[in-house]
Amino acid sequence: MSGVPISWYLTLSAILFTLGVAGFLFRRNIITVFMSIELMLNAVNLSFIAFSYRLQQVNGHLIAFFVMVVAAAEAAVGLAIILTVFKNRQTLNIDEIDSMKN
């Protein structure tokens, strides 16, 4: 068994999640913003695996697997949406994509 206590894994996961949140909120480039979401999902998966290992179940592995499937689906649709935005506006700056305020 691993000699690394679970709280280390959880701390790592929490830091990674916070990094993702920070990237999502601070960055202007939409692709980087989307990559931050991937960081957050990986942080979550890391928690699932750590818990699963400690609980001696494979359920956590399966949930993490479904999270990956969903991430793939989201990436396909999300990048398609990002491409249409770029095609119409020639920019991927989140501050400039703001045409509907009064």
Partner 1 sequence: MPANFTSAADLIRFLPEIILTIMGTLLMVLDPILNRRSSYAFGHLSIFALIVALGGSVYAYTQAGPAFGGLLVVDGFATFFRVLVIVVGILTILPSYRFLQRQDAETSEFHALLLFSVAGQCLMAASGDLIMVFIGLEISSISSYVLAGYLRDDKRANESALKYFLLGSFATAFFLYGVALIYGTTGTINLAAVRTAISGQNAPEPVIIAVAAALMFVGLGFKVSAAPFQMWAPDVYQGAPTPVTAFLSAGPKAAAFAVFLRIFMTAFDPVGGDWWPLVWGSALLSMTIGNFAALLQSNVKRMMAYSSIAHAGYVLVALTARSDVGTAAAMFYLAAYAFMNVGAFAVIGHLSGKGERYQNLDDFAGLAEKQPLTAAMLTIFMLSLIGVPLTGGFFGKFYIFKAALESHLVWLTVLGLLNSAVAAYYYLRILVMMYMHEPSDAASKVEPLSLGLRAALILPAIGTLFLGIFPGWVLDFAGKSSTLVR
Partner 2 sequence: MLIDTVLFYIFALLVLGGGLLTITRRNAVHSAISLIVSLLGVAGLYLLQQAEFLFAVQIVLYVGGIMVLFLFVIMLVNLDEAAKERQFNRQWLVALVAVAAVGAQLSWFIYKGKDAFHFAENAAVALPEAVGNTEQVADSLFREYLLPFEIASVLLLVAVVGSVVMAKKRI
Judged by CB under 8 A, the chain residues 33 through 92 that form the site for partner 2 are 34-36, 38-39, 42, 45-46, 49-56, 58-59, 61-62, 64-66, 68-77, 79-84, 86, 90-92
- Cβ–Cβ under 8 Å, residues 60 and 43: no
In which residue are the tokens 């990002």 written? Answer: 82
**DSSP secondary structure code for residue 2 in this structure:** -
For position 84 contacting partner 1 by CB under 8 A, the verdict is yes
What residue 96 binds from partner 1, partner 2, none (CB within 5 to 8 A, per partner kind)?
none
- Rg from Cα positions in the chain: 17
Give the shortest CB-43-to-partner 1 separation in angstroms: 7
